[in-house]
Structure 1
Amino acid sequence: MNAARAYYAASTLSNGSILVAGGSNGSSNYLNSAELHNPITGTWTTTENMNVAREFHTASTLADGKVLVMGGDNGPVLNSAELY
């Protein structure tokens, strides 16, 4: 994972991987990037970006395996959500 990533949301997926999405890099640069962590191998891989960069957001894994990312901040407070 990008060591500078802070204020991100992490969600456990049905396959055991951890999705780490959004956050900021400590310099008020909001991130829309996401990474997958495999806890068995200890490896990180990049995955699709979110549509909106955000920090201080929440993420919930849904029954269908998708992740609902909601709210947060990227300058203004966000009231949007997206499925990931």
Structure 2
Amino acid sequence: MKLFKLSYNTRKINKYNLSSQHRKYENKLNRNFNSSYFREKFGTNISYLQFRTRTIYLSNINNLYSKKILDYQLNKSSNF
């Protein structure tokens, strides 16, 4: 290829294999997020905060009864 001055682009390999890394769980809430007493139902969320040079991950646990955050964690990697 150098002889004919040809070049090519190669695709980057996708390093994330979603089928083997993630677990699937049964949907028990069925979008019913209302709760009748404290600590009956919890919700979680992971947010990606992107800055110029890095990404920080924010994970929180919510109580669906009082709609308040019970706990949160900031981390440099997505492995909590």
Question: TM-score normalised by the shorter chain: which range applies?
Answer: 0.3 to 0.5
Relative CO higher for 1 or 2, CA cutoff 8 Å, sep ≥ 6?
1
TM-score normalised over the length of structure 1: 0.32
Q: Give the structure with the larger helix fraction.
A: 2
TM-score, normalization by structure 2: 0.33
Q: For the pair shown, which has the larger CA radius of gyration, 1 or 2?
A: 2
